[in-house]
Amino acid sequence: MRRALVAGNWKMNGSQASIKSLVSDLLPVLANGINGVDVVVCPPYPYLGQVAEAAFGSEIVLGAQDLSEEASGAFTGEVSGSMLSDFRVRFVLVGHSERRVRCGESDELVAKKFAAAQAAGLIPVLCVGESLDHRQSGHAEDVVATQMTAIIEQCGVKALEDAVIAYEPVWAIGTGQAASAEDAQLMHAFIRQVVAQFDAGVASGVQILYGGSVNADNAEALFACEDIDGGLVGGASLNAKDFIRICQSVS
């Protein structure tokens, strides 16, 4: 039985004041944990320390949105996995589509970041997903399979034992148009099948989150699907009431 996980990706949003108030609204409900669900929040880098301190001793787990593929050195502006661990970060997103598209992150670079995360003792959350063009032209599965196999070939399938996958169709991110539970389930099952071609045991154990316009109204139907083990939530994670409802939607 896979545990459920709900992660909030705050992206490049917030200020010291708004994050203070968001965390203080989350804590009364989430501090002692919710049965059967791990809850993660991924603030922007400058606020990691603030959230680590405010959420200290609670069940809220810290994640980061990216990391460098390098361990340390002359890499101006980069943040290493060991720096994240130093702030009690446990999870880190790699290969988010906003970075693949905006920063030109290739599958090869994403694989290096995935490996760097694990080398620093972090759990990478590998984001995969197709664009609207790819879906409309019938290539959604090909694209996702390519993204998955790039990691498996470079890092080894066993690396997925200490990782999480997030299926985030690019066309659903920030658009208010989530994938239907049926379409999401089909792709999640497909991703599990891709992993199973390498190792069936790893495939059945790996958590696969859905991301893309998850909200308090659609979360329950999505999370009820057999191969959907939780969510990676953007916009709705900035609203404490919505994020709590989403976390409580795991059955």
Ligand X SMILES: O=C(CO)COP(=O)(O)O
Query: According to the binding rule CB under 6 A, does residue 38 interact with ligand X?
Result: no
Please identify, using beta-carbon distances, which residue of 69 and 168 lies nearer to ligand X: 168
Task: State the pairing for strand pair 164-167/37-42.
Answer: unpaired
Task: Give SS3 for 127.
Answer: strand
235 is in an annotated binding site: yes
State the Cα angle at 83 between 80 and 88, rounded to 5°.
130
- Taking CB under 6 A as the binding criterion, the range among 80-88, 109-117, 142-150, 212-220 that sits at the site for ligand X is 212-220
- Taking CB under 6 A as the binding criterion, the range among 21-29, 54-62, 194-202, 226-234 that sits at the site for ligand X is 226-234
Q: 2: which 2 tokens?
A: 């896979």
Among 30, 41, 126, 173, binds ligand X (CB under 6 A): 173
Do you know the residue count of the chain?
Answer: 251
Using CA atoms, how far apart are residues 201 and 199, in angstroms rounded to an integer? Answer: 6
Among 174, 201, 204, 241, binds ligand X (CB under 6 A): 174
Query: According to the binding rule CB under 6 A, does residue 194 interact with ligand X?
Result: no
Query: According to the binding rule CB under 6 A, does residue 249 interact with ligand X?
Result: no
Compute the Cα dihedral for 20, 14, 222, 95 and give only its sign. negative
104 is in an annotated binding site: no
What is the nearest approach in angstroms of ligand X to the Cβ of residue 51? 17
Q: 245: which 2 tokens?
A: 């409802």
Query: According to the binding rule CB under 6 A, does residue 107 interact with ligand X?
Result: no
85-109 per-residue burial string, b: 16 or more CB within 10 A, e: under 16: bebebebbbbbbbbbbeeeebebeb
Active-site entry in 98, 130, 168, 188 = 168
Active-site entry in 96, 98, 130, 134 = 96
Among 140, 209, 214, 240, binds ligand X (CB under 6 A): 214
Using CA atoms, how far apart are residues 206 and 161, in angstroms rounded to an integer? Answer: 6
9 is in an annotated binding site: yes
Using CA atoms, how far apart are residues 201 and 215, in angstroms rounded to an integer? Answer: 31
What is the nearest approach in angstroms of ligand X to the Cβ of residue 24? 22
Q: Which residue is nearest to ligand X (CB)?
A: 234
H helical segments located in 120-239: 132-136, 140-155, 181-196, 200-205, 219-223
96 belongs to the catalytic site: yes
Please identify, using beta-carbon distances, which residue of 30 and 167 lies nearer to ligand X: 167
Among 157, 202, 233, 244, binds ligand X (CB under 6 A): 233
State the Cα angle at 238 between 144 and 56, rounded to 5°.
100
Query: According to the binding rule CB under 6 A, does residue 168 interact with ligand X?
Result: yes
Q: Which residues are identified as catalytic?
A: 96, 168
Which residues are at the interface with ligand X (CB under 6 A)? 9, 96, 168, 173-174, 211-214, 232-236
